[in-house]
Amino acid sequence: MSRIGFFGGSFNPPTIAHFEIVKTALKEFNLNRIIIIPMGDKYNKKDLIPFKYRYQMLNIMFDSYNNIEISSIQINQQVRTYAIDTFEIIDQKYRNDERFFIMGLDNFVNITNWKDSEKLIKNRKYIIFKRNNIKVKEENENIQFLDINQNISSTIARGKIKSGENLSKILLPSVIDYIIQNRII
């Protein structure tokens, strides 16, 4: 049985924080691999970079990691999907593996507001990373905290890109090059 982490998000664009979260989760939780799932173009988010660019930036970011896969599960998304839809696909496809859902504490504290939240929480294991100084509850067997506190956001990155500010502490050089070459944002 493999231990697999699933990290969903908009990755709009993928930042150094995303990179560090994935690397740290692999090591701290002894995961065999992590599958990163960028949300499709129908995801309800302002200023969403098209999927094909976000997908490619993630592939560039993790190119040298054999134990990190970028999922295209939402590439042809025709309608808005919800976390529960993706989680159920993962549960079915990877039913023989130990699954861990990786997310920021800012999202996890609001999970009760998500569609079918009781199904999202029940019988699932979570790896939660701290964000924005949100207070945390104690761990239990299904909720563990990643020892990393990342407050770099894609929103900050997009703002710095638009204003022409230095991005070296927010984005990897290969991602910066891709954004410039493809005139993204």
Separation between Cα atoms, residue 30 and residue 34, nearest integer Å? 11
For residue 96, what pLDDT band results from cuts at 50, 70 and 90?
very high
Cβ burial, residue 118 (10 Å; 0-12/13-18/19+):
exposed
Separation between Cα atoms, residue 85 and residue 49, nearest integer Å? 22
Give the DSSP letter of residue 140: B
pLDDT of residue 131: 65
The tens digit of pLDDT for each residue in 34-75 reads 999 998 887 777 788 999 999 999 999 999 999 999 998 777
Give the DSSP letter of residue 113: G
pLDDT of residue 21: 94
Query: Can you tell me whether residue 119 is helix, strand or coil?
Result: helix
Percent of the chain with pLDDT over 90: 44
| Type and span of the H or E element at 99 | strand 98-104
More confident residue, 140 or 4: 4
Separation between Cα atoms, residue 31 and residue 146, nearest integer Å? 13
Separation between Cα atoms, residue 67 and residue 60, nearest integer Å? 14
87 pLDDT more than 80: yes
Residue 15 makes CB contacts below 8 A (sequence gap 6+) with 152, 153, 154, 157, 170, 171
The tens digit of pLDDT for each residue in 3-31 reads 999 999 999 999 999 999 999 999 999 99
Section 116-138 average pLDDT: 77
For residue 150, what pLDDT band results from cuts at 50, 70 and 90?
low
Section 133-161 average pLDDT: 74
Mean pLDDT over all residues of the chain? 86
Distance of CA 119 to the CA centre of its chain: 20
